[in-house]
Homo-oligomer: A and B are copies of this chain.
Amino acid sequence: VARPSDGYHHGDLRRALLQAAFQVLDESGLDRLSLREVARRAGVSHAAPYHHFADKAALVTALVDAGFEQLAESLSAAASGPGTNLERLGRIGGAYVSFAIENPATFRLLFRPELRGTTPAAGDSGQAAYAVLLEAVRACLASREAVGDSRALSLTAWSTVHGLATLLLDGPLHDHLAPGELSDSLARNVTSVLAVGFMPRGG
């Protein structure tokens, strides 16, 4: 039986709950995310979510899955397009930082230690995201735009953008920072220093 997209009682409570959950996450963080609060936001009784999620953990798992998928898609999109391999790599890094800034709660969620290994799908998407990076680094190596070990270089690149992202979100940088342009220029600065490091003794 095909169910009309808007048509059953609430319509699409599941989606509404996830949306509300992301909202709570953005405003108050994971710690304050409760099923009851999410239900409240969705305008529904506190027991209603149990028709869509087995328990609270299932809701959180769904959030994590969705988050990793979004991240992997962002990186993939940035990886395509014109330019040198090194430029593409730089774009991937920029996309990583942008994703974090535009989706702070989601980004933080993905790296909460207590959620690690909670969901196999997330693991897959995480791998996919890393694969995009690794691929781009290998392309640089193949085209002689970088030299070294692909794993070490990937790790350095990842560390740098991940560090920048988390410092921007949660660190002291937050204070000294107008959002948008400034973080973009920081990202460019950082990735260009990094690019030089990828190609010792000028290419």
A194 interfacial by beta-carbon distance below 8 Å: yes
Number of copies of chain A assembled together: 2
A161 interfacial by beta-carbon distance below 8 Å: yes
Contact B159 A163 (CB under 8 A): yes
Q: State in angstroms the CA–CA spacing of A126 and B167 once bound together.
A: 13
Q: A163-B163, A164-B155 are in contact. Are A112 and B202 (CB under 8 A)?
A: no
Chain A residues touching B, range = 35 or more
Contact B196 A200 (CB under 8 A): yes
Interface string of A156-182 (1 = CB under 8 A from B): 101111111111011111100000000
Q: Which residues of B are found within 8 Å of A29, using beta-carbon distances? A: 113-114
Q: Which residues of chain A from 109 to 145 have a CB within 8 Å of any chain B CB? A: 111-114, 116, 126-127, 130
In the A-B complex, the 8 residue pairs with the closest CB atoms: A163-B163, A197-B197, A159-B163, A162-B163, A159-B164, A113-B170, A196-B197, A193-B197
